């Protein structure tokens, strides 16, 4: 198992870090206002591939607003968004912004209080700045490379309970339902006296690990915009980030495990041993 912490991240100019944090925080506050004002109240969902893969007016409005602000503040820096895709050159740029305007849109449409706004600045090493808004709890979680993570301005202290027994492990369904081996994963977790939760927001699932509320989060598949900001939070609080083979990478192409260091190997064994 190769820990992500053993890999050196690229240095980032301090002025860029500070400006990116400030602008991302401002956008997260804007998103919080919009989401709390409109959730479950007249949203007009369209469907994508699945009836539960919603797109709403709010998704589009927030992404357009995010793009306008980022284009003005960081000219020439491309944006990749869930609703409108990547700007030209995003795949080769030194830095790119990655945004999911409403992660957990089905919950948002139903008025279930569990969705997020997720915005990250990413380079070749992974998240540089990550900001996740948790509108229903009135929380903005923010992190920058080498500067730690904060919740509403207060430092988030690393939390590691030492074992999985009595802890929560988060996962998410795929677009078509349970992922291959998900049932076996849940059974292994239960045998270890851990509880598995599927709550409907990949960003908030990973954020729970950074906050110390969950010991691990496993995503069989994901999109970069779902997780980049929350992974940035997790890295800055000392979490281990691995792919399904136990290799460390900030945004691995083959699944994602984010875990407290002491439980990473155990949870990885539950995952790699099924499917």
- The DSSP line for 146-207 is TTEEEETTEEPPP---SSSTT-EEEE--BTTBSPTTHHHHHHHHHHTT-EEEE-S-HHHHHH
Partners of 116 in beta bridges = 103
In this predicted structure, what is the pLDDT of residue 2? 56
User: Is residue 26's pLDDT more than 70?
Assistant: yes
C-alpha span between 141 and 156 (Å, rounded): 9
Hey, where are the domains in the chain? 14-155, 168-272
Partners of 154 in beta bridges = 151
C-alpha span between 245 and 67 (Å, rounded): 35
DSSP state of 8: P
Average of per-residue pLDDT values in the chain: 92
Identical fold, 14-155 and 168-272: no
Ranges 4-8, 9-13, 57-61, 88-92, most confident: 88-92
In this predicted structure, what is the pLDDT of residue 56? 82
Binding-site sequence positions = 82, 100, 103, 226
**Can you tell me the mean pLDDT for 32-45?**
79
C-alpha span between 130 and 120 (Å, rounded): 4
Q: What tokens appear for 45 in the block?
A: 């969902």
168-272: CATH, from 3.40.190.80, 3.40.50.11780, 3.20.20.70, 3.50.50.60:
3.40.190.80
Burial class (CB in 10 A: 0-12, 13-18, 19+), 65: middle
DSSP state of 137: G
Residue with tokens 């229903």: 136
Q: What tokens appear for 16 in the block?
A: 């860029």
Sign, CA dihedral 185-243-234-165, equals: positive
CATH topology of domain 14-155: Fructose-1,6-Bisphosphatase; Chain A, domain 1 (3.30.540)
Residue with tokens 């979680």: 141
In this predicted structure, what is the pLDDT of residue 5? 47
User: Is residue 220's pLDDT more than 50?
Assistant: yes
In this predicted structure, what is the pLDDT of residue 6? 44
**Can you tell me the mean pLDDT for 207-236?**
97
Could you tell me the pLDDT band of residue 48, with boundaries at 50, 70 and 90?
low
0.85 surpassed by pTM: yes
Sorted by sequence, the CB contacts under 8 Å of residue 160 that are 6+ apart come out as 238, 260, 261, 262, 263
C-alpha span between 92 and 215 (Å, rounded): 34
Question: Which run of H or E residues covers position 17?
Answer: helix 14-38
**Can you tell me the mean pLDDT for 226-234?**
97
**Can you tell me the mean pLDDT for 239-268?**
95
Binding-site sequence positions for Mg(2+) = 82, 100, 103, 226
Q: What tokens appear for 274 in the block?
A: 């099924």
């Amino acid at each position: 198992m190769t820990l992500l912490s053993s890999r050196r991240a690229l240095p980032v100019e301090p002025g860029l870090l500070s400006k990116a944090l400030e602008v991302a925080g401002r956008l997260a506050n804007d998103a919080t206002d919009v989401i709390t004002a409109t959730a479950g109240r007249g949203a007009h969902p369209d469907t994508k591939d699945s009836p539960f893969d919603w797109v709403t007016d709010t998704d589009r409005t927030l992404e357009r607003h995010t793009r306008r602000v980022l284009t003005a503040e960081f000219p020439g820096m491309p944006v990749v968004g869930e609703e409108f895709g990547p700007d030209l050159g995003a795949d080769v740029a030194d830095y790119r912004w990655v945004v999911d305007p409403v992660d957990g849109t089905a919950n948002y449409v139903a008025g279930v209080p569990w969705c997020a706004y997720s915005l990250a600045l990413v380079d070749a090493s992974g998240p540089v700045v990550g900001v996740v808004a948790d509108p229903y709890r009135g929380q903005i979680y923010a992190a920058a490379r080498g500067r730690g993570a904060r919740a509403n301005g207060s430092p988030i202290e690393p939390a590691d309970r030492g074992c999985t027994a009595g802890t929560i492990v988060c996962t998410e369904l795929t677009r078509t339902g349970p992922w291959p081996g998900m049932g076996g994963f849940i059974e292994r977790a239960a045998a270890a006296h851990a509880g598995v939760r599927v709550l409907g927001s990949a960003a908030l699932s990973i954020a729970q690990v950074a906050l110390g509320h969950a010991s691990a989060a496993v995503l069989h598949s994901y999109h970069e915009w779902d997780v980049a900001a929350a992974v940035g939070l997790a890295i800055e609080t000392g979490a281990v980030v691995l792919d399904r083979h136990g290799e460390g990478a900030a945004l691995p192409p083959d699944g994602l495990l984010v875990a407290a260091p002491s439980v990473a190997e155990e949870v990885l064994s539950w995952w790699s041993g099924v499917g």
